[in-house]
């Protein structure tokens, strides 16, 4: 999700959402499992932007300690808009400052220009992004890729910028976080042409066809499929079938893509004023619960497998947990 999109969503409608949102209590989020976990893809700076003052959340530590279950170990916070790359200059010493994120003990970073913002890519943006990518707590380049659902940036520019950032990842020896939506063939063609077969790849928030997932997994032995709260949606047939029939137990990752993709069970049978409208990293157990149902596994097994998969994707020595 790009920051430009976020701004469109956070004018007057956002104020209504902020006034009416609720958050699940820690007991609810802790009720499913106690296995430690990592949220492998989140935008916690957007979460803090959206949370009303009534929750009293001023820092990432506040959010973790007061609203997340104690088994949350770490998060990979994704910066995917050019504005975020200069946040240390524009919003110094605030939660929007990427250096503040990096200095928070449980937060790691990924940085890359989202396909929606491909039209804004230039040398200045790349140089600012490089600075973040060279920070020791930045574990990947992304999210980058193609999004043909919205076409906010022209498709030819999306492809050029995707390739350019893949080359940068190879130069810096960074794993890739890939965003792909309704662009299966072009995404696959670019990946197999430009990315070494053994490269570490996290295909984030997978919603495309099960066959596409199989093609990716078969070609790239170190590619992982990221599963968000989308898997809990009644309409998410592709994601559910991918989890049930395609993804091996050692090739999936748990993520929230917060503040988006709220697990559906958290809002079941609730009135509008009681609904949760903001996702955060504490909601991962509800994603794992749905995966456990689809895979016919115990939820603790799913959590343990995801934790080991995260270690393998992002290197045991990189994320300390």
Extract the annotated binding site for a divalent metal cation: 41, 43, 143, 179, 204, 257
CB atoms within 10 A of CB 152: 16
Length of the chain: 321
Alpha-helix residue ranges (DSSP H) falling in the chain:
3-9, 12-20, 26-30, 44-50, 60-67, 82-85, 87-90, 98-102, 123-133, 155-172, 184-194, 210-219, 237-241, 284-295, 299-314
Q: Which of 223, 165, 171 is nearest to 197 (CA)?
A: 223
Distance between CA atoms of residues 316 and 104, nearest Å: 19
CB atoms within 10 A of CB 27: 8
Question: Residue positions in the annotated binding site?
Answer: 41, 43, 143, 179, 204, 257
50 token code pair: 């959206």
Strand order in the sheet with 223-227: 37-42, 72-79, 107-111, 138-147, 176-181, 201-203, 223-227, 252-254
Residue-wise DSSP of 223-244: EEEEE-GGGGSTT-HHHHHIII
78 token code pair: 């994704």
Q: Is residue 260 within 8 Å of residue 39, measured between CB atoms?
A: no
Q: Is residue 166 within 8 Å of residue 176, measured between CB atoms?
A: yes
């Amino acid at each position: 999700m790009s920051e430009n999109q976020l701004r469109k969503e956070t004018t007057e409608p956002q104020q209504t959402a902020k006034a009416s949102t609720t958050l699940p209590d820690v007991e609810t989020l802790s009720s499913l499992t106690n296995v430690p976990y990592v949220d492998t893809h989140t935008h916690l700076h957007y979460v803090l932007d959206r949370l009303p003052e009534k929750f009293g959340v001023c820092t990432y530590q506040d959010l973790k300690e007061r609203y997340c279950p104690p088994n949350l170990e770490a998060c990979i916070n994704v910066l995917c808009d050019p504005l975020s790359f200069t946040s240390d200059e524009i919003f110094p010493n605030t939660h929007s400052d990427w250096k503040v994120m990096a200095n928070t003990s449980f937060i790691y970073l990924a940085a890359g220009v989202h396909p929606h913002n491909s039209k804004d890519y230039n040398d200045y943006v790349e140089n600012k992004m490089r600075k973040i990518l060279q920070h020791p707590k930045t574990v990947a380049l992304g999210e980058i890729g193609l999004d043909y659902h919205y076409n906010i940036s022209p498709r030819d520019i999306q492809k050029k910028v995707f390739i350019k950032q893949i080359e940068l990842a190879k130069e810096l020896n960074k794993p890739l976080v890939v965003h792909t939506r309704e662009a299966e063939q072009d995404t696959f063609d670019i990946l197999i042409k430009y990315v070494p077969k053994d490269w570490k790849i996290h295909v984030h928030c997978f919603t495309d066809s099960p066959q596409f997932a199989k093609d990716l997994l078969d070609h790239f032995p170190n590619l992982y499929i990221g599963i968000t709260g989308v898997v809990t949606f009644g309409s998410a047939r592709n994601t559910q079938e991918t989890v049930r029939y395609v993804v091996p137990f050692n090739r999936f990752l748990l993520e929230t893509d917060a503040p988006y993709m709220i697990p559906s069970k958290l809002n079941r049978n609730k009135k509008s004023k009681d609904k949760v409208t903001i996702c955060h990293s504490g909601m991962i157990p509800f994603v794992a619960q749905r995966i456990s149902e689809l895979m016919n596994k115990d939820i603790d097994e799913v959590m343990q497998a995801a934790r080991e998969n995260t270690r393998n994707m992002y290197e045991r020595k990189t994320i300390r947990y």
